[in-house]
């Protein structure tokens, strides 16, 4: 089964952040379409602008779920094989630290999301305030997408790195979650991640790993929604409550 997003709920903060991201899109742009509840709000608002304002965009989805939503809403789509770069991409995150480093992957789409983020001239994160943390690993594990035959090997390696690995199981049927690439997910929980760069290198070096959910130095801007509006956050600018929408 694919990653189950049914447990992700919309809130006023998430909705506001998603709409604020869609407002940054200009006609003629190629746009990476993120996955998850906040990103889906941006996709919906982007579709409204296409329909009502005549906005011309080309969307490149990060997952089967975002592709299906965009297709249903009438956003013209392309694949990563059709474009060399993207003008803009938006996506959600599970955790965001003061440098705008991220943990992503609760929706099991992080490998494709990372490709889209790397292709984008501007990568914007859309979240609510609950996703802000002082240090990565505070609340969420690091998802690792693996080929199935490497599961036991990678889990032992994660333990040696100080983590607690757990093979992600499906929520609605027996067996592991299967990603859009046909692979499995190991959720690696670390008591703390003092050096995300070192962990990034260690995980990438493991045979059998396609990619993991640490997104380091990739985000240019975070739009943080709350009941009071949306703040723009750049790295190390958490204290600036720049409200862009109320």
Q: Rounded CA gap, 105 and 239, in Å?
A: 27
Q: Which helix (H) or strand (E) holds 201?
A: helix 196-204
CA 44 – CA 36 distance, rounded (Å):
12
Q: Are 218 and 209 in contact (CB under 8 A)?
A: no
Rg (CA), the chain: 17
3-state SS class at 95: strand
Contact 60, 115 (CB under 8 A): no
Candidates 125, 48, 40; CA nearest to 88 is 125
Helix (H) or strand (E) run with residue 65 in it = helix 64-73
Q: Is 159 a catalytic residue?
A: no
Catalytic residue of the set 45, 67, 113, 145 = 113
- Tokens 């955790």 sit on residue: 95
The distance in angstroms from the start CA to the end CA of the chain is 39
Residue 237: is it exposed, middle or buried by C-beta count within 10 angstroms (0-12/13-18/19+)? Answer: middle
Residues designated as active site: 113
């Amino acid at each position: 089964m694919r990653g189950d997003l049914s447990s992700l709920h919309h809130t006023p903060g998430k909705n506001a952040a998603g709409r604020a991201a869609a407002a940054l899109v200009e006609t003629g742009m190629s746009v990476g379409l993120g996955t998850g509840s906040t990103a889906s709000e941006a996709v919906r608002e982007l579709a409204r602008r296409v329909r009502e304002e005549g906005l011309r965009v080309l969307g490149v989805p990060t997952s089967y779920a975002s592709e299906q939503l965009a297709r249903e809403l009438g956003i013209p789509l392309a694949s990563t094989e059709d474009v060399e770069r993207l003008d803009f991409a938006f996506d959600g995150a599970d955790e965001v630290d003061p440098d705008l480093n991220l943990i992503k992957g609760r929706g099991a789409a992080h490998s494709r999301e990372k490709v889209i983020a790397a292709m984008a001239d501007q990568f914007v994160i859309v979240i609510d305030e609950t996703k802000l943390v002082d240090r990565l690993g505070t609340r969420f594990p690091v998802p690792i997408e693996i080929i199935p035959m490497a599961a036991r090997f990678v889990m032992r390696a994660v333990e040696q790195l100080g983590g607690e690995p757990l093979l992600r199981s499906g929520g609605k049927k027996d067996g592991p979650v299967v990603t859009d690439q046909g692979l499995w997910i190991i959720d690696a929980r670390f008591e703390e991640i003092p050096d995300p760069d070192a962990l990034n290198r260690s995980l990438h070096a493991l045979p059998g790993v396609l990619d993991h959910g640490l997104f380091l130095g990739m985000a240019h801007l975070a739009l943080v929604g709350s009941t009071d509006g949306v703040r723009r956050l750049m790295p190390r600018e958490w204290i600036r409550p720049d409200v862009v929408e109320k």
